[in-house]
Every structure is written in structure tokens, then in C-alpha cells.
Homo-oligomer: A and B are copies of this chain.
Amino acid sequence: MVTYKLTVAYDGTEFCGWQTQPGQRTVQETVEAAWMAITGEQVRVTSTSRTDSGVHARRQAVGVETASQLPAAKILTGLNAKLPEDVLVVSIENAPTGFHATYDAIGKRYRYQLHNDRRRPLFDLPYVWHVPQPLDIEAMQRAAQALVGTHDFASFQSAGSERESTVRTIFSVDILQGRGEDAAQVWIEVEGNGFLYNMVRIIVGTLVDIGIGRKPESWAAEVLAAVDRRVAGQTAPPQGLFLLNVNY
């Protein structure tokens, strides 16, 4: 048996998220079907994250254990030929025996893309949340710093999660704005050791409420301290969210 780490990118628009669910089009099932088509082998892949319906990934790590004798380069080319247009294997590399993409990850980085302009988005429509009100980026950046560190993030979790602990460590929150003709582009990048269900999207919804002036700058810290989902902001819509990468 050989263990590989695949790095997979996908456009989540037409997927019901990562994880296989009966009767739904999911990325996991699509990758496993392509694997079957080129190796004849039914595998069960592992992954760092179970992205939600409509969420995208640029470099998601996927583990697979295989008896196939095909060279890695042939597997890469074969998978990309079989996979539909909205999934791409970026790279394949050997991983240590027993590598498990979920348990071995030490951190993940997400980007949430906002389109901040009075006018609606055009070319990036499937990949942004349109916020027409002017955003106070500096207030958002300052407010976000309250979330950095090890905290109980229970306020930033949707119902439906099964995690035992709601304590996580956020390494950084960066808010980046485009220049010139890209000035409408506002990216919120969050890196941490793990994330609760909808955590990034609730952080973004909360920071946007601060950015448009609906809530004061101190509110992010108050929401965190409340340890109660009902006090946080809205959950930002899925199409702006990208899993950027996973660190091991």
C-alpha cells in the first residue's frame, strides 16, 4: 500500500459541500469516482475539512491509501482528465504511512471575499458576498484582533455541530483591500488550528456589522465573551468562502 496526499481545488458552486451524502453531488464522491475510473479501486479518501455547500477550496489536503501501482504523475494526469471542470487535483505527493488528512493537520487558512461597492459584482459574482455599504476597514481590523488567540468560540458556531470542545486558537485575522480598479475587493483571511461549524462565516458576518457601523468596534470582543451564538452577527453566505490551504 502507498499513501498519497492530494492537493485538491474546487469551485463549490455546484456541490453540496465536500462530504459524501446520499443523493447529493459532493466533492468527496466525485474524487473517489475519478480514482475508481483510473485505478479500478474503490477508496475512501480522508480530508482536513468538510466544507459546506457552495464553499470553494484552493488547496485542500486529501489523503488516500492505495494498492495501485500507477506512478504518481500518471495518477495526477488521469484524475484531472476524469474529473469534471469544477474540480482539479493541483498536486500529488507521497505521505507517510498512516497519514490522515484530518488528524494530522496543525492549521488551516481561509479567505472570505467581499465585494464592497455600491454597484453589484460582475465577473466575480460566484465568489463574493456583495456588501454595498462603505466598510470601515480599519475598525474591522482592530475589532478582529480580539478574536486572535485561544478562546471558547461557542458564539461563533452554528447549531448542528458535533464537536466536543468549542475552544480553538486563531493565529491571525487579516483584512486586505485591493487597490485602484480592485478597490471593491476586500478579503478577510483567518488562520487557526481548527474551526467550528460556520465559524469563519459568522466571524465575517460579525465584522461586517462593525464595518458598516451597525455595531461598535468593541462588539467582537463582547460576542466572544458571551459564549452564546444568539448574540453574534449574521452568517455570511457560502459563496465568498475559500479554504486556502492546510498546514502539516
Interfacial residues, chain A to chain B (CB-CB below 8 A):
9-11, 56, 80, 85-88, 90, 119-120, 122-123, 125, 127
**B122 & A10 in contact (Cβ 8 Å cutoff):** yes
- Kindly report how many copies of this chain are found in the complex they form together: 2
In the complex, what residues of B have CB within 8 A of residue A9's CB? 122
Query: Given A11-B123, A88-B119, A90-B119, 9 more contacts at CB 8 Å?
Result: A9-B122, A11-B122, A80-B119, A85-B120, A85-B122, A85-B125, A87-B122, A88-B120, A123-B127
CA–CA, A231 and B125, complex, Å: 40
Chain B residue numbers with a CB within 8 Å of A127 are 123
- Chain B residues with CB under 8 Å of A56's CB are 123
Whole-angstrom distance between the Cβ of A79 and the nearest chain B Cβ: 11
From B10, B120, B123, contact of A80 by CB (8 A): B120
In the assembled complex, how far is the CB of residue A61 from the closest CB belonging to chain B, in whole angstroms?
A: 16
Chain B residues, CB < 8 A from A122? 9-11, 85-88
Q: List B contacts of A80 (CB < 8 A).
A: 119-120
Q: Tell me, in angstroms, the Cα distance from A122 to B90 when the chains sit together.
A: 10
Q: With A and B bound together, what is the CA distance between A119 and B10 in angstroms?
A: 13
A57: nearest residue on chain B (CB-CB)? B122
What are the residues of chain B within 8 A of A119 when measuring CB–CB?
A: 80, 88, 90
Question: Of A87, A119, A122, A125, which is in contact with the most chain B CB atoms at under 10 Å from its CB?
Answer: A122
* Between-chain CB contacts (< 8 Å), 17 pairs: A9-B122, A10-B122, A11-B122, A11-B123, A56-B123, A80-B119, A80-B120, A85-B120, A85-B122, A85-B125, A86-B122, A87-B122, A88-B119, A88-B120, A88-B122, A90-B119, A123-B127
